[in-house]
Amino acid sequence: MTPFPLQLTELMGHWGSYWVYLAIGFAFGYVLEIAGFGNSLKLSAQFYFKDLTVLKVMFTAIIVAMVLVFGSTALGLLDFNLIWVNPTYLWPGIVGGLIMGAGFIVGGFCPGTSLVSAATGKLDGIMFALGVFFGIFLFGETVGLYEGFWHSSYMGRFILPDLFGVETGWVVLGVVLMALFMFWGGEQLERIIGKQDLSKAPKWRYGAAGTLVLASVAILFIGQPTNADRWSWLAPAQDVRLAERQVQIHPAELLETLHNRNLRVVMLDVRSEADYNLFHILDARHVTLDELPALAPSLREEPDNTVFVTMSNDESAATEAWKYLVAESIPNLYILEGGVNNWLAVFSEDEFRLTRTLAVGRDDQLRYAFDMALGARQPAAEPDPHDFVLEYVPKIELKSKRGATGGGCG
pLDDT in tens, 91-112: 999 999 999 989 998 899 988 8
pLDDT of residue 174: 96
Tell me, what's the pLDDT at 7? 67
pLDDT at 365: 92
383, amino acid identity: P
Report the alpha-carbon distance of residue 147 to residue 144 in Å, rounded: 5
158 Cα distance to chain centroid: 10
Pick the closest to residue 334 from 249, 245, 238 (CA basis). 249
**What pLDDT was estimated at residue 15?**
84
184 touches 140 (CB < 8 A): no
Can you tell me whether residue 203 is helix, strand or coil? coil
The pLDDT assigned to 260 comes to 93
pLDDT band for position 301 (50/70/90)?
Answer: confident
Q: 136's torsion region: left (phi>0), alpha (psi -120 to 50) or beta?
A: alpha
- Given a cut of 80, whether residue 55 has pLDDT beyond it is yes
* Residue 122 CB neighbours (<10 A): 17
The predicted pLDDT at position 307 comes to 97
Relative orientation angle of helices 251-258 and 339-347, to the nearest 10 degrees: 80
Which range has the worst mean pLDDT, 2-6, 143-147, 239-243, 263-267? 2-6
SS3 call for 9:
helix
Q: Domains for the chain: give ranges and CATH numbers.
A: 8-227 (no CATH), 229-387 (3.40.250.10)
Dump pLDDT digits (tens) for 369-405. 998 999 999 999 999 988 888 889 999 998 765 544 4
- 334, β-bridge pairs: 309
Residue 271 neighbours by CB under 8 Å, 6+ apart? 280, 286, 311, 312, 313, 317, 340, 364, 366
Confidence at 278, pLDDT banded by 50, 70, 90? very high
Q: Structure pTM?
A: 0.82
pLDDT-based confidence at 357, cuts 50/70/90?
Answer: confident
Grade residue 322 by pLDDT with cuts at 50, 70 and 90.
very high
The better pLDDT of the pair 361, 278 is held by: 278
Region of poorest pLDDT, from 25-39, 99-113, 351-365: 351-365
Percent of the chain with pLDDT over 90: 66
Percent of the chain scored above 70 by pLDDT? 95
The Cα 319–Cα 363 span in angstroms is 13
- The average confidence (pLDDT) of the chain is 90
Closest Cα partner for 310 from 299, 321, 302?
Answer: 321
Q: Is residue 361's pLDDT more than 70?
A: no
